[in-house]
Amino acid sequence: MAIENIIKDWDRGKYAPKYWLEGEEEYYIDKVVNYAEEYILTEEEASFNLTVFYGRDTNWADIINTCRKYPMFSERQVVIIKEAQYLKGIEKLEAYIQKPLLSTILVISHKEKKIDSRTRFGKLVKEKGVFESTKKLAENKLPDWVINLVRKLGLSITPLASTLLVEHIGNDLNRIESELDKVVLNLGKRKTITEDDIEKYVGISKEYNAFALQKAIAKKDKRNAMKIIQYFIDNPEMAPMPVLLASIYSFFGKVYMIYGNTDSRDSLASNLGVNPYFLSDYIEASRKYDLQAVQKILLLLHQYNLKSIGIHSVNLENEAILKELLVKIMY
């Protein structure tokens, strides 16, 4: 992601007077803001030249006055605005952004939403200094993101361990990194994170999870699928109904794409957005279920998702919904 290049520039001593960081993905914004707060200045320089504002608790006038001060005992000062989306009158920063003090590095964290680029202020923000907008990482890119993150630590992680972690957490990148830190601390001298490590230190069962349920359904392993469903019924916090149904729907949505496809295995895996390691699960499902059956399953999943939120249902409990759905898919 382009936003990561900001830190690379800072490491090379290349600074802009203004950085506007916005969007849905907090992980990358937090990385840049934390780096600015901790590493641009030395500890001694930061005592006089680091100011952190919070949008809820400050006003634009104080920010501008601080930005226009010259640094003390340092070449530059760092001014950070966190939660800038809550700053009232943020457009009043226009005059400063138009003519910034070059010895000030202003870092603005504007999470969750984007500035209106149709306004004069929005256009200025994009034109002056550095502007970066973040998006949530697509679900199918998460396992590879985890693998790359672990690789940067000089370690490796098995595809199954990566998938288990992602299936459990979703696309909360900050939480994924936090859980991986916990695993790495307990890894000892080993260099590979396995599914056993994920089970032990993150608290995810490698036998009873959404991925294992997909595999059982793909193989038409009725006994094991029912065991996993019963585990989820007994431990609903391990796989909330919407997450579980979305996971199965995603799986069969990819199976649907296989029919009539003549691509090579590598091309097929890429088109499906899955790790080649798991491609055989999708191919096996396409052999166990014909096209008509998969179309029926996708329709069923949509109907039962509605039932799970109380639409078109007769007060069915989640337990009954899951078991009824499994029977209709596999029998």
Which two tokens mark 99? 């003519």
Q: What is the rounded distance in angstroms from the CA atom of residue 242 to the CA atom of residue 250?
A: 12
Architecture of domain 4-134: 3-Layer(aba) Sandwich (3.40)
CATH class assigned to 218-330: mainly alpha
Which residues, including other chains, have CB under 8 Å from residue 65's CB and lie 6 or more apart? none
Query: Over the stretch 236-291, which tens digit does the pLDDT of each residue have?
Result: 887 788 888 888 999 999 999 999 887 788 889 888 888 888 899 999 999 999 99
Domain map (residue ranges) of the chain = 4-134, 139-202, 218-330
Planar angle of CA 99, 116, 24, nearest 5 degrees: 105
Across residues 304-323, what is the average pLDDT? 70
Which two tokens mark 311? 């639409």
- pLDDT category at 222 given cuts 50, 70, 90 is very high
* CATH fold group of domain 139-202: Helicase, Ruva Protein; domain 3 (1.10.8)
Across residues 191-201, what is the average pLDDT? 95
Mean pLDDT of the chain: 91
More confident residue, 222 or 308: 222
Say what the pLDDT of residue 238 is: 79
Q: What is the rounded distance in angstroms from the CA atom of residue 277 to the CA atom of residue 63?
A: 52
Residue 310 pLDDT greater than 70, yes or no: no
Sign of the dihedral through C-alpha 129, 133, 137, 141: negative
Please tell me the pTM assigned to this model: 0.79
Which residues, including other chains, have CB under 8 Å from residue 167's CB and lie 6 or more apart? 209, 210, 211, 247
